[in-house]
Amino acid sequence: MSNSIDEILKQAKLSKEDVITLLQTDKIDRNKIFTHAAKVKADNVGKKVYYRGLIEMSNICSKNCYYCGIRMDNKKAERYDISDKEILDAVKFAHESNYGSLVLQAGEITSPTFTKRISNLLKQIKEISNNELGITISLGEQPEEVYQEWFDSGAHRYLLRIESSNPDLYYKIHPKNKKHDFETRVNCLKSLQKVGYQTGTGVMIGLPFQTYDDLASDLFFMRDFDIDMCGMGPFIEHHDTPLYQYNDLLMPIEDRFTLTLKMIALLRIIMKDINIAAATALQAIDPIGREKAIKVGANIIMPNVTPGMYRDSYKLYENKPCTDEEAADCTNCMEMRIGITGDDIGYGEWGDSKHYAKRRQQI
């Protein structure tokens, strides 16, 4: 077995069977994958981590994804919508802390009022930061005109996870209706690329009903889609969601964690020059989970700059870390944490996807 892992890793191109074999490796063999991925990262994007200050603007959502704690029908979720002033205060904090970039994330709302509000916020962020902050947004499925308007207002990266690239599994974790349509999600990703965003997607790992074959297909979906960025993380159950009824089918949480690290490492091997985020959900399982992800291929981290009083309410999953902290607490903590990985921090840099730059040159 050991030899065959070495042989597989030496190949220029991995087949689906290879990926499935690698996803199922034990401790000794998986360390070979991690070491290989760390080298690929160092050679292609360098040993450097970029910050994206994360603002969880609102947990109001019009959708009902079966896995998510802030789904519309969860009446137990206490809803909030941070004021523009508080958002801009968080922006100033990220700018003063030299974070380089921001992520604005929220539940999915589609309305002309929401579109305008985001456009105004984007323009103000650019203005108060002298265009020094790069902006990623993660605001769900929207019409192409809305993506265009937000791009023109200053956002240049967009994160929209496909969640699972297998339509059958997609419909096991979402209601089967117009609002949760697999094809629409894929078309949104196409629109984002067309508009010109650095386009990011990702999946949840360790979902009920998910197979190794599904996960290998997810990696190839990302490769074939030619994405620029990826944010993928372990699925973490939430009591007040429909998916909780399948909890017995889940693999132990530690295994979901390790499988996520393997997915990150394999994606780094397959897509050498993209940006890969160390998902916050990893930290919900292991206190140094994100740092472990950085060691095996991730190069983006998203320190939470949401005002402390709202953090507890943005509960996509349970045991969400750092909900009792303020943004300033994160800065020192983060610096110490990245120190463990041996990587440098790209303070004040946008840290754009190298893959995007190459992709655009080819157009």
Stretches 47-55, 87-95, 105-113, 323-331: which one binds ligand SAH (CB under 6 A)?
105-113
CB of 339 to ligand SF4, least distance (A): 33
Among ligand SF4, ligand SAH, none, partner that 71 touches (CB below 5 to 8 angstroms by kind): ligand SF4
Shortest approach of ligand SAH to residue 66 CB, angstroms?
Answer: 9
SS3 260: helix
**Any residues with CB less than 8 A from the CB of 287 and at least 6 apart, and which?**
321
Q: Which is nearer to ligand SF4, 202 or 289 (CB)?
A: 202
In this chain, which stretch among 38-46, 91-99, 229-237, 265-273 interacts with ligand SAH, using CB under 6 A?
A: 229-237
List Cβ neighbours of 28 (8 Å cut-off, separation of 6 or more): 2
Query: Min. distance of Cβ 61 from ligand SF4 in angstroms?
Result: 3
Q: Which is nearer to ligand SAH, 154 or 206 (CB)?
A: 206
Q: How far apart are CA 287 and CA 232, in angstroms?
A: 18
Alpha-carbon distance 48 to 52, whole Å? 13
**Nearest approach, Cβ of 323 to ligand SAH (angstroms)?**
15
Both tokens assigned to 357: 């730059």
User: With binding defined as CB under 6 A, does residue 81 bind ligand SAH?
Assistant: no
**Cα(300)–Cα(279) distance, rounded to whole angstroms?**
9
Per-position x/- string for 4-43, each x denoting binding to ligand SAH as judged by CB under 6 A, each - no binding? ----------------------------------------
* Helix%, strand%, coil% for the chain, nearest 5: 50, 15, 35
Q: Which two tokens stand for residue 263?
A: 């997915």
- Of 34, 50, 51, 67, the one binding ligand SAH (CB under 6 A) is 67
Q: How far is the CB of 10 from ligand SF4 (least distance, A)?
A: 39
Cβ atoms of 209 and 172 closer than 8 Å: yes
**Which tokens in the block code for residue 130?**
């002298």
Binding to ligand SAH (CB under 6 A) within 289-318 occurs at 316-317
Distance (Å, rounded) from C-alpha 80 to C-alpha 313?
8
**Residue 153 in the binding site for ligand SAH (CB under 6 A):** no
Among 81, 86, 89, 108, binds ligand SAH (CB under 6 A): 108
Q: Which does 281 bind (CB under 5 to 8 A by kind): ligand SAH, ligand SF4, none?
A: ligand SAH
Cα(268)–Cα(41) distance, integer angstroms: 7
Q: Which of 163, 218, 291, 343 binds ligand SAH (CB under 6 A)?
A: 163
225: helix, coil or strand?
helix
Shortest distance in whole angstroms from residue 92 CB to ligand SAH? 23
- Nearest distance from C-beta of residue 88 to ligand SF4, angstroms: 23
Element at 53 (helix H, strand E): strand 48-58
Question: 236 is in the binding site of which of ligand SF4, ligand SAH, none (Cβ under 5 to 8 A by kind)?
Answer: ligand SAH
Question: Strands 300-301 and 157-159: what pairing?
Answer: unpaired
Interface residue list for ligand SF4 (CB under 6 A) = 61, 63, 65, 68, 70-71, 107-108, 140, 316
Tell me if 101 sits within 8 A of 136, measured CB to CB: yes
Query: Could you please report the per-residue DSSP string of 77-121?
Result: SPP-B--HHHHHHHHHHHHHTT--EEEEEES----HHHHHHHHHH
Binding residues (CB under 6 A) for ligand SAH: these are: 67-68, 105, 107-108, 138, 140, 160-161, 163, 204, 233, 235-236, 238, 281, 316-317
